[in-house]
Amino acid sequence: MSAATVDLADRASSGKHSPFRRALRIGLILGVVAVYGATVGILPLMDARWVIVHVVSLGDAALIAIGLSGGTVVAARTRSSEFWPLVPPSLVAGGVAGGLLALLALAMQAFPLRQIFIPLSPSLLKSLTFGLGAPLGGAVLIVVGALLAVLGAALSRAPEGLRKPVTVGLAFVIVFGVFQELIQIMMQSGGAIDALRQSIYTWEGLTLEGALMIFVLASGATFVWTAWLRGPARERLIHLSPAQRRYAKAVRVVLFILVLVLLPVVAGSYIGQVMMLVGLYILMGIGLNLEVGLAGLLDLGFVAFFAVGAYTTAILTADSPHALASYTAIPSLSFWAAMPIAVVASIVVGVLFGIPVLGVRGDYLAVATMGLGEIVRVVVQSDMAAPLLGGAQGILQIPKPRIGGYELADPVQLFYLTLAASAIAAYFAWRLENSRLGRAWMAVRDDEDVAQALGINLVKVKLLAYGLGAAFAGLAGSIFAVMLTSVYPSSFQLLVSINVLALIVVGGMGSLPGVMVGAMALVGLPELLREFGEFRFLLYGAALIMMMRVRPEGLWPSATRRRELRDEAGESVLDEPEDAAALARRRVSDLQKTEL
């Protein structure tokens, strides 16, 4: 069964229950989510960030969103389009969700839970119960939850002309409030923009007046767009000629690149640093995408190639006793000379890595590659390799790259380096995807035996996947080394492999734009919300589970994948074995057609 059918089955079975049991279930799930957030410590962290200064914190916003979604989920699960029948179940759902939080508050007041659960602090209790103490505050929580759910239900049954502006306005307020630091930096350019900034922000964040202003502007603009502008715009888009459409696409791409190039200049070096990190992960994602997305080789030792790139660059360029230049006749190289060598070294390691695991398949392959990656880390960290690689202290004093006499020291400048590298990598990956080799990879992914029977040389094709995937990781590692100007074994944990895997899974396996979307969502976003940094891995875990359950094809699936999904009439390809076999057969016949 696919995730979609499971969901359908869920819906069908919940359809049998009375609306109240369904509402109870929704309320319980939402309440558990809220209690979980509080116990794990996300909620207290969110409470520390204001959306509107001294009025609404991000934590409040999250709880409000949970309350509202009680109503919207009830509405989505009910067929009738009327509002009034939704009120009682919404009340139940919201009340139950609030009730679970109230129970948590009661438990916190009655028992010294803090001794076990660190985040359950008295300040959390105070903010949960509005400072009223658990019994009274809990009652308020239940009532507020129920009312919010009704509001949510009302909103989802409201006409589009009302619903859309309100949601867009709220979203704008939240974005402007949560990212206030960055937006304020961007708006500090002076003149009229700075005056505008001062009218909506204080140094602490968004003011209430500012929030109202943003809400009115955003919802007003949305209202105008939906009411009068959207129809004609669509009309015009439909009547475009193919040439015009291509032109429009080119303009969009150029605009996108222009924004990418200019953003760090406008937004300052912090954004530059974040974008640089995103760029590095895009590079690695492109590499792993060749292995996992195209060739279907789940490689959890990917970080080893990244480490090889970084360490090769380090020992070739660094000004330290571990550099090759200090104990051999090899001269100290510049970054530009070391980078290609690092990439070649990664390719060699990738192929060497791939040879022993050629015959290992599926799950075993994941564990075997993970073991190989861990071996690399253990060896680098040990005293055995310390004379060569610096052991746990790593290699320091790696010079920044220079162009002429000019040093690329700033994160923004390094971002341009990463951008250039990712652009080249993306071009290569795009050409590979549509090449004979790319099709061979996809055939291997779908069925190794069939692919071999068709005359695809498994050894060659798989080793190319490992080698080329490693090349991109090596390039990323090389840039990573000069970014930090030092390399430590602790930077090359398994977490990095999982991180890259998570971003290609979220973006969509085998899809290039998916890699970018995934990197922005999983690397960029947690980096922008700095204090949530420690929860990013929780996010990765949750993202992997949710994506596999709800949307296995990813946020931005590749064209082939999308076509396959349409072929299967909504069924995911990963699922039914028979379907997969049928698909493989069809893919094979496609392959033959294209290759003839």
Q: Check the CA dihedral 277-280-286-292 and report its sign.
A: negative
Tokens of 288: 């792993």
Q: In the complex with other proteins, which residue's Cβ is closer, 177 or 508?
A: 508
Helix (H, G, I), strand (E, B) or coil at 220: helix
Three-class SS state of 214: helix
Q: Is 206 helix (H, G, I), strand (E, B) or coil?
A: strand
Q: Which of 186, 221, 344, 574 binds other proteins (CB under 8 A)?
A: 574
48 binds other proteins (CB under 8 A): no
Burial class (CB in 10 A: 0-12, 13-18, 19+), 12: exposed
- What is the spatial distance between Cα 197 and Cα 296, in angstroms, rounded to a whole number? 49
Interface with other proteins by CB under 8 A: which range of 196-204, 225-233, 247-255, 533-541?
533-541
Residue 259, Cβ neighbours under 10 Å: how many?
10
Taking CB under 8 A as the rule, does residue 128 contact other proteins? no
**Minimum Å distance from CB 259 to other proteins?**
32
Give the footprint of other proteins on residues 455-514 (CB under 8 A). Answer: 459, 494, 498, 501-502, 505
Kindly state the smallest distance separating residue 573's Cβ from other proteins, in Å: 8
The identity of residue 243, as a single letter, is A
292 binds other proteins (CB under 8 A): yes
549 binds other proteins (CB under 8 A): yes
Closer CB to other proteins, 410 or 448, in the complex: 448
538 near other proteins (CB under 8 A): yes
359 binds other proteins (CB under 8 A): yes
Q: Is 357 in the site for other proteins (CB under 8 A)?
A: yes
6 binds other proteins (CB under 8 A): yes
Q: Closer to other proteins at the Cβ: 313 or 381?
A: 381
Residue 132 DSSP code: S
Q: What is the dihedral of CA 403, 407, 408, 409, to 10 degrees?
A: 170
Which of the stretches 207-215, 327-335, 535-543, 559-567 binds other proteins when contact is defined by CB under 8 A? 535-543
Which H or E element spans position 114?
none
471, amino acid identity: A
Is residue 132 part of the contact set for other proteins (CB under 8 A)?
A: no
Number of Cβ atoms within 10 Å of the Cβ of 468: 23
Residue 32 touches other proteins, criterion: CB under 8 A:
no
Q: Which CB atom, from 152 or from 469, has the smaller least distance to other proteins?
A: 469
Minimum Å gap between C-beta 2 and other proteins is: 7
* Residues near 271 by beta carbon (within 8 Å), at least 6 away in sequence: 182, 185, 263, 264
User: From residue 157, how far is each of 26, 62, 186 by CA, in Å?
Assistant: 18, 22, 38
Residue 266: both structure tokens together? 């406008």
For residues 29 and 175, which CB has a smaller minimum distance to other proteins in the complex?
Answer: 29
By CB under 8 A, tell whether 352 contacts other proteins: yes
Residue closer to other proteins, measured from CB, 266 or 392: 392
Q: Which of 40, 423, 525, 565 binds other proteins (CB under 8 A)?
A: 40
Apex 535 CA angle, 531 and 536, nearest 5: 100
Toward other proteins, which CB reaches closer, 45 or 146? 45
d(CA 315, CA 335): 11
Find out whether 571 and 28 touch, Cβ atoms under 8 Å.
Answer: no
Query: Per rule CB under 8 A, is residue 12 in the interface with other proteins?
Result: no
Q: Which residues contact 200 (CB under 8 A, 6 or more apart)?
A: 176, 206, 207, 209, 210, 211, 213, 214
Q: Which is nearer to other proteins, 494 or 582 (CB)?
A: 494
Q: Which is nearer to other proteins, 184 or 381 (CB)?
A: 381
Q: What is the DSSP string of 480-517?
A: HHHHHTSB-GGGS-HHHHHHHHHHHHHH-TT-HHHHHH
Distances (CA, A) of 431 to 424, 426, 428, 438, 457: 11, 8, 5, 9, 20
Near other proteins in 364-423, by CB under 8 A: 364, 366-368, 370-372, 374-375, 378-379, 381-384
Is residue 265 within 8 A of residue 410, CB to CB? The reply is no
Residue with tokens 């949960």: 128
**Binding flag, residue 580, other proteins (CB under 8 A):** yes
Stretch that binds other proteins, among 72-80, 238-246, 359-367, 464-472 (CB under 8 A): 359-367
Q: Is 28 in the site for other proteins (CB under 8 A)?
A: no
> Least separation, in Å, of the C-beta of 364 and other proteins?
5
Beta bridge partners of 403: 406
Composition of the chain by helix, strand, coil, percent to 5: 75, 0, 20
* Cβ nearer to other proteins, comparing 86 with 506: 506
**Site for other proteins contains 298 (CB under 8 A):** yes
Site for other proteins in 225-264 (CB under 8 A): none
Give the pairing type, strands 406-407 and 402-403.
Answer: antiparallel
| Residue 270 contacts other proteins per CB under 8 A | no
111 binds other proteins (CB under 8 A): no
Cβ-based neighbours of 145, under 8 Å, separated by 6 or more: 67, 70, 94, 95, 96, 97, 98, 99, 101
Please select the residue that binds other proteins; options are 79, 110, 112, 116, rule is CB under 8 A. Answer: 116
**Which position among 576, 582, 583, 588 is part of the footprint of other proteins (CB under 8 A)?**
576
CB of 515 to other proteins, least distance (A): 16
Enter the tokens of residue 325: 């230049």
Residues 190-229 close enough to bind other proteins by CB under 8 A: none
Q: Pick the piece of the chain touching other proteins (CB under 8 A) from 56-64, 269-277, 296-304, 519-527.
A: 296-304
Q: Are 398 and 333 in contact (CB under 8 A)?
A: no
Give yes or no for residue 552 binding other proteins (CB under 8 A).
yes
Least distance to other proteins, CB of residue 105, Å? 17
Using CB under 8 A as the criterion, which residues of the chain lie in contact with other proteins when the complex forms? 1-3, 6, 36, 39-42, 116-119, 292, 296, 298, 300, 352, 355-360, 362-364, 366-368, 370-372, 374-375, 378-379, 381-384, 459, 494, 498, 501-502, 505, 534-535, 537-538, 540-545, 548-549, 552, 574-577, 580
